[in-house]
């Protein structure tokens, strides 16, 4: 057994992909539209918020549509990804009860499924751009880096959540509330420049500086909407954040994974 994340799963990587696909199938079981919801959900959220915010603010900023869409897509991947990771252990109880299996398999499968669905959502992102006559510039080549960091972050948080969920079922409700709060403390509907130097805005900025998903969203806005390349310091800061949470999450997971069986 290695004390590093993912190393133990390398041998079973082909099974991981197979299970991720099953995981996706099961997520949409019995639904008429199935996987189409992956595309439809962020699109509808976007349309709704776009109509509301362009009608209440006078003269929205240039490219507000793309700005909003970027945030919603990232947020949606994060929200769906972490809640999939959260239930990954408990929803596989009957497998864990009958076979001696490396339990890291389950959160990793869930996040792999999230990564596959992410491709659909990024497709939506590019698919909607023509509606705003928006043509991305070359800085968008950094998008895969942001998405990789996002997945690392989701996996790190999933490691912690799935363990917590075993001991403390309430976390499911708590997490869905936190996810809702996250929507408002992340620069999705608002601009960072707008809140600077206002009383409450400073508090929000302080929160934003330690909110990894907020930092990732800001980076993405820079490379997609504002055509700027984040500085090396900014990249390093966000990377340390995401990778730090990932390693910490695995540490927690590894400490408890052999004990969870008795709690299930």
Partner 1 sequence: MDEIAIKLENVTKSFTFKSENLESRLFNIFSQSQKTKIMALDNITLDIKKGEVIAIIGRNGSGKTTLLRTIAGIYTPDSGNIVIDGTIAPLLHIGTGFHEELNSKENILMSGLLMGIKKDKILQKTDDIIEYAELEKFTGMKLKHYSTGMRARLAFSLALQMNPDIFLVDEILAVGDRKFQEKSFNSFVSFKEKNKTILLVTHNLGPQLEIADRVVLMDKGKIILVGDIDQVLKKYYEEYQD
Among the residue ranges 15-23, 145-153, 161-169, 213-221, the one whose residues contact partner 1 (CB under 8 A): 15-23
Q: Which is nearer to partner 1, 8 or 54 (CB)?
A: 8
Q: Which two tokens stand for residue 37?
A: 């919801």
Question: What count of other Cβ atoms lies within 10 Å of the Cβ of residue 28?
Answer: 15
Q: What phi and psi values does residue 187 have, to the nearest 5 degrees?
A: -70, 80
Q: Residue 94 CB, nearest distance to partner 1 (Å)?
A: 6
Q: Does 173 bind partner 1 (CB under 8 A)?
A: no
Q: Coil, helix or strand for 121?
A: helix
Q: Does 258 bind partner 1 (CB under 8 A)?
A: yes
Among the residue ranges 11-19, 44-52, 56-64, 110-118, the one whose residues contact partner 1 (CB under 8 A): 11-19
What number of chain residues touch partner 1 (CB under 8 A)? 21
Q: Which is nearer to partner 1, 103 or 208 (CB)?
A: 103
Name residues whose C-beta falls within 8 Å of residue 164's C-beta, 6 or more positions apart in sequence: 86, 171
CA dihedral 46, 47, 52, 54 (to 10 degrees): 90
DSSP string of 174-209, one letter each residue: HHHHHHHHHHHHSTTSS-HHHHTTSHHHHHHHHHHH
User: Which one among 77, 89, 96, 224 touches partner 1, defined by CB under 8 A?
Assistant: 96
User: Which one among 29, 55, 200, 210 touches partner 1, defined by CB under 8 A?
Assistant: 29
Q: Does 98 bind partner 1 (CB under 8 A)?
A: yes
Q: Residue 26 CB, nearest distance to partner 1 (Å)?
A: 6
Q: Does 94 bind partner 1 (CB under 8 A)?
A: yes
Q: How far apart are CA 210 and CA 86, in angstroms?
A: 22
DSSP string of 132-187, one letter each residue: GT----GGGGGHHHHHHHHHHHHHHHHHHHHHHHHH-TTHHHHHHHHHHHHHHHST
Q: Does 18 bind partner 1 (CB under 8 A)?
A: yes
Length of the chain: 264
Q: Which is nearer to partner 1, 62 or 97 (CB)?
A: 97
Q: Does 95 bind partner 1 (CB under 8 A)?
A: yes
Q: Does 261 bind partner 1 (CB under 8 A)?
A: yes
Q: Which is nearer to partner 1, 103 or 221 (CB)?
A: 103
Q: Which two tokens stand for residue 77?
A: 């991947």
User: Which one among 2, 4, 13, 26 touches partner 1, defined by CB under 8 A?
Assistant: 26
Q: How far apart are CA 75 and CA 226, in angstroms?
A: 19
Among the residue ranges 21-29, 74-82, 134-142, 173-181, the one whose residues contact partner 1 (CB under 8 A): 21-29
Q: Coil, helix or strand for 4?
A: coil
Residues of this chain that interact with partner 1 (CB under 8 A) are: 14-15, 18-19, 22, 25-26, 29, 92, 94-101, 258-259, 261-262
């Amino acid at each position: 057994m290695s004390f590093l994340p993912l190393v133990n799963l390398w041998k079973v990587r082909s099974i991981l992909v197979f299970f991720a696909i099953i995981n996706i199938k099961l997520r949409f079981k019995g639904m008429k539209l199935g996987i189409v919801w992956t595309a439809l959900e962020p699109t509808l959220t976007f349309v709704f918020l776009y109509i509301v915010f362009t009608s209440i603010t006078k003269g929205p900023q240039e490219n507000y549509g793309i700005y909003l869409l970027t945030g919603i897509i990232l947020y949606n991947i994060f929200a769906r990804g972490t809640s999939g990771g959260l239930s990954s252990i408990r929803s596989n109880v009957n497998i864990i009860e009958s076979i001696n299996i490396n339990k890291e398999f389950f959160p990793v499968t869930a996040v792999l499924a999230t990564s596959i669905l992410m491709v659909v959502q990024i497709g939506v992102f590019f698919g909607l751009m023509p509606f705003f006559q928006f043509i991305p510039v070359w800085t968008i080549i950094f998008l895969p880096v942001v998405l990789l960091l996002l997945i690392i972050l989701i996996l790190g948080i999933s490691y912690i959540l799935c363990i917590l969920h075993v001991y403390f079922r309430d976390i499911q409700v708590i997490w869905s509330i936190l996810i809702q709060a996250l929507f408002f403390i992340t620069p999705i509907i608002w601009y960072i420049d707008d809140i600077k130097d206002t009383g409450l805005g400073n508090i929000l900025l302080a929160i934003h500086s330690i909110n990894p998903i907020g930092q990732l969203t800001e980076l993405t806005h820079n490379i997609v909407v504002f055509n700027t390349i984040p500085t090396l310091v900014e990249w390093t800061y966000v990377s340390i954040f995401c990778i730090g949470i990932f390693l910490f999450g695995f540490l927690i997971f590894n400490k408890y994974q052999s004990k969870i069986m008795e709690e299930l």
